[in-house]
Amino acid sequence: MRLVALIDGPLPAEFEGCVGVIDPLLEAVTDSPAGQHASAVARAILSEAPGVRLLSIPVFKARLAARTSDLVTALERAGESGAQIVHCSLGLARNDPAVAAAIAALGDRIVVASAPARGDPVWPAALPSVIGVQGDARCGQGEWSRLDLPAADFGACPASQGIAGASIAAAHLTGILAAQRVTTDAEARAFLNAGAAHVGRERRTGDA
């Protein structure tokens, strides 16, 4: 089964599907909000791809905030791990050259990152070689939308077990891709473009 590098909070070593924890943040604890967030994201991935293997690479400590340097280190660890898919449950407000370089070093690896449904683009989701995902209420389990927005390429189911948001949507899409045989960014995008349940952004009350 595919190996997904989960860049988020720390997963417990005994978590279903977890094959290891690469912990550059020794202070990270699994019962913190960051750990709970990682577990929710992991469950959403597993709901789409039962049996997927997860490699936890924490960038959050107790709270959901990460330094750019920690993200760069995590991306480097993901590249060294041999993971077929790299999942990032975070977004930075600016396009940092070090992050862009770390993403570029992953080559044609599939990289999925969360993006908020409102507001300005965030990184790494807005990078052209990253599959940016936001929540789309039109999508249920196993579904996704093609958005082609500056902030996000695709949308996906935004909820899982009572938790909702962009991180969960990105996790659903990561799971969908992990269940397929796609191995490169180009293959992943071709698969997603062909199978989208919806095309165009979700229209919400108050939208022009």
| pLDDT tens track for 151-180 | 999 999 999 877 889 999 999 999 999 999
pLDDT tens string 21-50: 886 555 556 678 888 999 999 999 999 999
Predicted pLDDT at 27: 53
Predicted pLDDT at 62: 64
Q: How far apart are CA 189 and CA 128, in angstroms?
A: 11
Domain of residue 147, CATH code: 3.40.50.200
Enclosing domain of residue 161: 3-199
Predicted pLDDT at 204: 64
Q: Which residues contact 84 (CB under 8 A, 6 or more apart)?
A: 2, 3, 4, 109, 110, 178, 183
Predicted pLDDT at 208: 47
Residue 81 lies in a domain: yes
Residue 14 lies in a domain: yes
Predicted pLDDT at 60: 86
> Quick check: helix, strand or coil at residue 86?
strand
Residue labelled with tokens 């269940």: 179
In terms of Cβ atoms closer than 10 Å to its own Cβ (0-12, 13-18, 19+), residue 127 is middle
Predicted pLDDT at 65: 73
Residue 205 lies in a domain: no
Residue 163 lies in a domain: yes
Residue 207 lies in a domain: no
Q: How far apart are CA 113 and CA 174, in angstroms?
A: 9
Residue 204 lies in a domain: no
Question: In the chain, which residues have pLDDT < 50?
Answer: 208
Residue 86 lies in a domain: yes
Total domains in the chain come to: 1
Residue 12 lies in a domain: yes
